[in-house]
Each structure stands twice: as structure tokens, then as C-alpha cells.
């Protein structure tokens, strides 16, 4: 399951996976995020907030995830991985080759710090 919280004031979507990700998770996320982007033209950031990366429940879920990234990366200026998972450093490195957004890692308990970074209040 993927919980999506849209902070319209900061123009940030917080994605919180709980268990393996499915195709439906990314379809549901797009249904929440896309109307906002259509109205505002962009999203300041996406935060992936999870203690550990849960993986995907199928290969088709992975493909749907990659399509989600392809369809949204040019409309998002920042991506924050807020996790204690070691996969975050790998994801940051790989994603930097495919997305135009600025990417940064934070520890799981630094959610507020990641929001400040996306909002321009913490330029470190």
C-alpha cells in the first residue's frame, strides 16, 4: 500500500509505502498528484518517506513505477528520499541519470528537514 499526502501549501507530495508496491499504488498516486499538477503546473517536490524500501509485488508494478517516474519527473523540482534504507544512496545515484529533479537523501527521522529543503528553507 502507498499512502499519498499532498501538501498543497508547500506543493509537496509525501509518499509513504507500507508493504510491497503494486500497480494500483502508482495509479492511485497519479490520481492524487496529476490534478494538482494540471492546476498548478508543477510540484515543488516528492518525498519518499519509509523506514526501509519495501520493493514491488510484481514486475508489472516495477514497470508502472518507472512509467510514473517518466510521466512526472519533468514536473517535479526536488525528490527527497527520507529513509534509513541503504538503497537510498543507490536510488539517488541511478535516478540522477534519469530525472531532472534535484535529489537528496535524509534519514527517516528528518521529514521536516526534507520539507524545508524542498521549500528552500534549508539549502544545505
Domain limits of the chain? 2-119
Instruction: Give the mean model confidence (pLDDT) for residues 70-94.
Output: 77
- Using a pLDDT cut of 90, give the percent of the chain over it: 51
Picking from 27-36, 38-47, 55-64, 68-77, which range would have the lowest pLDDT averaged per residue?
Answer: 68-77
The answer to whether domain 2-119 has CATH 3.30.450 is: no
Identify the three-state secondary structure at position 37: helix
Q: Which of 39, 103, 111 is nearest to 73 (CA)?
A: 103
How many residues are present in the chain?
124
Give the contacts of 38 (CB within 8 A, at least 6 positions apart): none
Give the contacts of 71 (CB within 8 A, at least 6 positions apart): 30
Instruction: Give the mean model confidence (pLDDT) for residues 29-37.
Output: 93
Residue 121 confidence (pLDDT): 66
Q: Which of 54, 52, 66, 47 is nearest to 1 (CA)?
A: 54
Evaluate if residue 122 carries a pLDDT over 70.
no
- Is there a contact between 57 and 31 (Cβ–Cβ < 8 Å)? no
Rounded distance between C-alpha atoms, residue 61 and residue 64, angstroms: 5
- H or E segment at 26? helix 23-40
Amino acid at each position: 500500500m502507498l499512502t499519498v499526502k499532498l501538501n498543497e501549501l508547500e506543493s509537496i507530495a509525501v509518499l509513504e509505502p507500507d508493504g510491497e508496491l503494486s500497480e494500483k499504488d502508482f495509479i492511485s498516486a497519479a490520481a492524487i498528484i496529476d490534478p494538482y499538477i494540471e492546476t498548478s503546473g508543477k510540484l515543488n517536490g516528492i518525498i519518499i518517506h519509509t523506514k526501509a524500501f519495501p520493493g514491488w509485488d510484481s514486475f508489472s508494478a516495477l514497470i508502472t513505477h518507472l512509467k510514473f517516474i517518466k510521466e512526472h519527473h519533468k514536473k517535479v523540482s526536488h525528490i527527497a528520499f527520507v529513509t534509513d534504507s541503504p538503497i537510498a544512496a543507490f536510488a539517488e545515484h541511478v535516478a540522477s541519470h534519469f530525472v531532472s529533479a534535484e535529489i537528496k537523501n535524509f534519514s527517516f527521522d528528518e521529514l521536516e528537514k526534507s520539507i524545508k529543503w524542498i521549500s528552500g528553507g534549508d539549502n544545505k
